[in-house]
Structure formats: structure tokens, C-alpha cells
Amino acid sequence: MDVRIGVLGCGDIAARRTLPALARTPGLRLACVASRSRERAEDFAARFGGVPLGSYDELLARTDVDAVYVCLPTLLHAHWAGKALRAGLHVLVEKPLATCEDDARRLFALARERGLVLRENFMFLHHARHRREAGLLGSGVLGRVRALSAAFTIPPRPDGDNRYDPALGGGALFDNGVYPLRAALRFLGTDLTVAGAVLRTDERYGVDVSGAVLLMTPDGTSAQLRFGMEHHYRSWYEIQGSAGTLATDHVFTTAPGHEPLLRLSVGQDDSEIRVPAEDHFVAALGSFRDGVLGADLPVLERESLAQARLLDEIRARAVTVTR
């Protein structure tokens, strides 16, 4: 039996990647799409299927929906994820799930109380490259991991983009900074703290447009992270150990047909490992489906909660520069 999905919000990422991927994911079916604009919902339904709805609450009241995908501006994520959970629906929500740790903890507690799945939609974590990297790290080929460096930067967005609107939770930290942050949590564990941070704010918009963060583990292993939306495009990370280094590009927004290349250096020897192409949107949706059907991945909850905590710490400790 298919898991029936309702979509809250007709955002760009839903149209470009998520809904086309949903149509290719076995065991999932698009039941309805809701927007504050009935016309926009009708346009999405004509393109992707499902019943068009002009109200989010109308979707949550339906009996033909098992789960919702929340694709709304950042500051609306926690509110509508909570309403969906209270309506008895499983939730897949675009990142970040919440803009503060208190909200994230409240939502996961609610999901556990109701026996529901709550997932933050970080597609890149589900790509085959990460299974290959996990195998390499587990083999000990890098030795003891000593440092991680990561960057996700994009060019400026058009005026009027939601990412420039502070009332909607805009800013580079919430939009693309969470990706290298999540990579650090995946490879270094959740016991990270903020050693330093810089946020660069554009006074035209009142949001951060770039930044850098230094994280550390209790034993001093470090993560140096860069992010922003005023840059040349970069989507990369490198893991450095006592015996070797592993690096890869095009990691956070991998195209479905792209075959990732892992560059491994051990001692004086350099090698390249090609990973088969995979649509990580389909992989992420398949993981959510499996969760709804009973699979348990507690590491994702731990990482989401640690991420929310670190976002609080970064904003509290960052040196802010206004241009």
C-alpha cells in the first residue's frame, strides 16, 4: 500500500526536484497539494497530480493523507510541522526543521508521543557516496579523523527572493550554512561546540549573506565551515585524518546523473574512486517512506537536535559585520 503524501507549499525546490522525484519513488503517491494561492495549487496539481487545495488547514483535515511534505519559508517550518503532527500525520520538512533548539526538541517529543515520523529533508545524506565514504572511514584508511573542512556557497539570488526576507527566516546560515554544518555532525559526531563564528549581514535586507564557523569536539578535532549567497558556487568537503585525506565536490546539490568522484590520498599515494550516479531526492524520499513503514533511524533525530543547538550557539557567539 502506498504512503499518501500531501504537500504544504508550492516552493521552487518542490517543483524542480522533490515532486518529480516523488513520482519516481516506489511506495509513495501524491494525494494533494496546498497553497495559499488556489491558482498555484491548481498549477502544481496539473503538473504533478493530486488534488489542489487553497488552504493548508484543509489539507491537514483530509482523511486520504498519511504524511505531509512541508515546503514553506523557514520560519513556517516548525509551526506547520507541529500542526501536521497534531493532526496525526508523518512529516518530512525542508531544512532547517526549526530555527531554535527549543522548537526542535518540542517537535521531536511530539512525534515520539504520537508515534509519528519526523524527518528533516537533507537529501545529500542519503546518496550512495555517503555509504562509500562511511565504508572508507570505517576501514581506518584515514587513520584518526583530525579535521573537516566544508563549504556551500552560491551566487546572489534575485531581489525579492525569500532568502532575503528576515520575516520569513531568510539568511545564508539557515539556507545553505546548515549543509556543511550537517556534514560536520555526520562525520565528527553530535558532541560539537562552537569555537568561533562570523556572519556578514547586508543592511539592504537585514539578513546574513555569508559566514564562517569553527566547530570543535571535546578532544580538539575541528570543523571549518564556509557558507554564503554572494559567492562563486562551491559545494565541497574534505575529511583529513592522521593517515590520509578524503575529498569530494558537488556534494550538497548532486545532479541525478552526476557520478561523484572521491579523491583519496594516503601517504604518498593518490587515488580516485568513482561512485555510481543516484538521485538523492529519490533516496531521501525512499528513506522517509521506510520510516513511515517502520524503519528506525535515530541518528537523524540526534543530528537534527544537535544542529538546532549549534544554530543557537552560532547566532549567539558570532561576530557580525554589516556592509
Distance of CA 99 to the CA centre of its chain: 13
CA distance 150 to 228: 12
Q: Answer whether 111's CB lies under 8 Å from 92's CB.
A: no
Identify whether 95 is a catalytic site residue: yes
The residue from 4, 95, 231, 315 that is catalytic is: 95
Q: Answer whether 227's CB lies under 8 Å from 172's CB.
A: yes
CA distance 320 to 291: 40
Name residues whose C-beta falls within 8 Å of residue 16's C-beta, 6 or more positions apart in sequence.
none
Q: Answer whether 275's CB lies under 8 Å from 250's CB.
A: no
Q: Answer whether 107's CB lies under 8 Å from 92's CB.
A: no
Count the residues in the chain.
323
- Comparing CA positions, the residue from 55, 52, 95 lying closest to residue 72 is 95
Q: Answer whether 14's CB lies under 8 Å from 7's CB.
A: yes
CA distance 151 to 317: 20
Please give the positions annotated as active site.
95
